[in-house]
Amino acid sequence: MRFTVPQFIEYEVKIVGPLTFKQFVFFFLAGAVCFILYFIVPFSIFLIACVVLGVGAIILAFLRIGGRPLPTILGNFFKFSISPKIFIWRKVEAPIMIFKKEEIKKEEVEEELPLKIAEKSQLKKLRTQIEIKTK
């Protein structure tokens, strides 16, 4: 019996209505900045800033590129930009070892082996004897 196992499941719990916690934080921060700007800057600049912040919050909350959310992509981009790019490999100096091949002198000493090894083939030997007819 085989079971199908779902893969690549990315499910975030909806906390505030149809929004996840991260999406809610983006909208909350944009709203908080707009609230502060309402009291600090003139109304025309406030409207432009709120539109820019609102569009930015929507993009950060909902845009996915290649199945990944935009904040993850931006975080990876900044991490890559900050990290060092030069990798230097330094070879450790080791002494050079030269191996010389020594010739091994074989002494031809015929010792009787405890077992006699048969020749290549007894049949070949018999065939030659029959062909030659030697006795």
pLDDT in tens, 75-118: 999 999 998 888 777 777 777 888 777 777 666 656 665 666 66
What's the mean pLDDT when you consider all of the chain?
84
| Assessment of whether the complete model's pTM goes beyond 0.85 | no
- pLDDT mean over 52-64: 95
- pLDDT mean over 119-133: 76
Reported residue count of the chain is: 135
Give the number of other Cβ atoms within 10 Å of residue 57's Cβ.
20
Contact by Cβ (8 Å): 21, 9: no
Residue 8: phi and psi, rounded to 5, are: 55, 50
Nearest to 59, CA basis, from 73, 38, 80: 73
In this structure, the dihedral spanned by the alpha carbons of residues 52, 61, 28 and 50, taken in order and rounded to 10 degrees, is 10
